[in-house]
Structure 1
Amino acid sequence: MTTLSLTQLLIFSGFLGLIFGSFISMLSWRLPRIMEHDGSEQLKIISMGGSKCPQCDSELPWYRLIPLFSWLASRGKCHHCQVNISARYPLIELTTAIGTILVAWQFGLTPMGYMALVFTLILITICVIDFEHQLILDNLSLPLLWLGLLVNTQSVFTTPTEAIWGAAIGYMILWLVFHAFKLITGKEGMGYGDFKLLAALGAWFGFVALPQIILIAALSSILVALIGIALKKRNVNTPMPFGPFLAIG
């Protein structure tokens, strides 16, 4: 079998990442709505229906679903109603492609690389939903946590002991921060989904990675908040998702 060169691998990974990104953009749009309409007739429509224009509800043909290129070719407009299609779709696809390329460049076609790719795809999905809905779903964060623990039974990214402690300490740190903040201010500063996400990151990379993750997440979130306030795009009471900043860390 011919071995792929690094350049070929990265190009292939980029195209594969666009496909994964297209799926993530669909999944991240549908999952919160599925949770919202759980048990209703609308649930079947949301979960099983084909991709449609969110404005005119017209079905999108297959050639309009080609990741990134379809959006560029149509100049970001629906082929039927000519209303602008959100840039979220190409942005998610492009972000996922970049993430897939970085994983391939770092790990190559190895078991560690495959696990890192699964981690990256789930994490991107979590971040998109949290950014758009301020919500981290248990059916994403908990599988990520358990998968991290299972992967590290073979010491892939860290030792089993560090993975277990990472999950426990990660959850406990934000749990303590949450209750301390609530005790002082009477307000809830974050959601329980953030606890579970940090626990998942601890399960994947061990407790030794937690200080760096928390520091970068805290500093980057403060910086973004200050920039938003300076530009008058937000105020001190505007809620801000913390999950994407944990992912950056």
Structure 2
Amino acid sequence: MLELFTNTLTLLQTNLAFYVATVGLVSLCIGSFLNVVIYRLPIQLQREWQTECKLLLAEHLTDTNEDDNGTTFNLAFPNSHCPKCQASLKWWHNIPLVSWLLLKGRRGFCQTSISIRYPLIETLTATLSVLVAWYFGPTEKALLYIVISWALIALTFIDIDHMLLPDQITLPLVWAALLASTLNITIEPQQAIIGAAIGYLSLWSVFWLFKLLTGKEGMGYGDFKLMAVFGGLLGWEYILQIVLLSSVVGAFIGSVQLAVQGKNTATPIPFGPYIAAAGWIAMLFGPQIQSWYFGMLQL
């Protein structure tokens, strides 16, 4: 067994095609798990908040890990089941992407349609992971950025659904960015600490300036923490790039979305997905973008 593991590890390090293919297959499975996280984590958090409110109000408490019927509910339980007819899924119903194609987008028992978002998230997870693996090769930085890409996908869709960037994901990412600097995977520790602080404060200051001028809250604290992640990974020099890119893309897509949905400009729009997209682009192509930008200034 040890020899098999050693040979596999050697093959991953020496054969780029095998390495990238392995990352793609593993990431497809991770994408399936991310669908679970995206759906279940906000529900768990809501139940925890409800319990805390009951505690403050001295009301009768129920177990936050149980649903209204007393069934355990977390990321692992209950087992995968159809949300319509509640039938437990068979193993062949849970093969990432393949099951959706074989079932022709229909649930295996009640034949109701399955949202195309599930296979899209699995495909997106595999695609982004493969791009990172191919770009950085079999390195520690690639592994770090692949895991961060998974977390960014979960954060993006949770924010779209609930206008929420959970601390359970953002804070570990901040610590991962800082710890990676101490292991010489990314930037120097001093740069990482300063970058995380400036990343956080860049949006924190905008938040309070907007609130003082308008009396309204323009964004959530999760956005600050997500920006701190990229500051800790890349350094303070890339904060402006990420802020500008996320703002431009967010303003354009948000305007189109509001126009299509017929909503007014007062409708809240999650900013986390645009920070995540801009930060991911900066992780791969930040130096090239910086060089292009400063080259344009010198013209």
State the TM-score bracket (shorter-chain normalisation). Answer: over 0.9
Of 170-179 and 150-159, more deviation after overlay is shown by 150-159
- Deviation, structure 1 residue 14: 1.6
Q: Secondary structure at the match of 1:37?
A: helix
Q: Which has the higher contact order (CA 8 A, sep 6+)?
A: 1
For the 8 Å contact 2:165–2:223, the answer to whether it is kept is: yes
Of 23-32 and 118-127, more deviation after overlay is shown by 118-127
Asked if 1:32 is matched to 2:42, the reply is yes
Distance 1:85 1:111 in 2: 37
Runs ≥4 in structure 1, deviation > 4 angstroms?
A: none
Aligned to 2:25: 15
- Which residue identity does 1:196 align to in structure 2? K
For the 8 Å contact 1:19–1:93, the answer to whether it is kept is: yes
* Equivalent residue in structure 2 for 1:206, among 226, 232, 235: 235
- Deviation, structure 1 residue 51: 0.8
Asked if 1:46 is matched to 2:73, the reply is yes
**TM, length-normalised to structure 2:** 0.79
Aligned to 2:56: none
- Deviation, structure 1 residue 45: 2.8
* Equivalent residue in structure 2 for 1:109, among 138, 141, 151: 138
Distance 1:206 1:213 in 2: 11
Q: Secondary structure at the match of 2:11?
A: coil
Asked if 1:87 is matched to 2:97, the reply is no
**TM, length-normalised to structure 1:** 0.94
Aligned sequence identity (%): 41
Mapping 1:179-194, distance limit 5 Å: 179-194=208-223
For the 8 Å contact 2:11–2:19, the answer to whether it is kept is: no
Distance 2:27 2:40 in 1: 20
CA gap 1:233/1:95 in 2 versus in 1, 3 angstroms? farther
CA gap 1:56/1:243 in 2 versus in 1, 3 angstroms? same
Query: What are structure 1's unaligned runs of at least 5 residues?
Result: none
Distance 1:17 1:235 in 2: 38
* Equivalent residue in structure 2 for 1:222, among 245, 251, 255: 251
* Equivalent residue in structure 1 for 2:160, among 131, 139, 163: 131
- Deviation, structure 1 residue 178: 0.7
CA gap 1:233/1:7 in 2 versus in 1, 3 angstroms? farther
Aligned to 2:55: none
Aligned to 1:120: 149
- Which residue identity does 1:74 align to in structure 2? L
- Which residue identity does 2:167 align to in structure 1? D
Query: What are structure 2's unaligned runs of at least 5 residues?
Result: 1-6, 49-62, 279-299
Distance 1:233 1:60 in 2: 38
Q: Secondary structure at the match of 2:104?
A: coil
Asked if 1:76 is matched to 2:105, the reply is yes
Q: Secondary structure at the match of 2:266?
A: coil
For the 8 Å contact 1:167–1:201, the answer to whether it is kept is: yes
Of 66-75 and 114-123, more deviation after overlay is shown by 114-123
* Equivalent residue in structure 1 for 2:198, among 163, 166, 169: 169
Larger Rg: 2
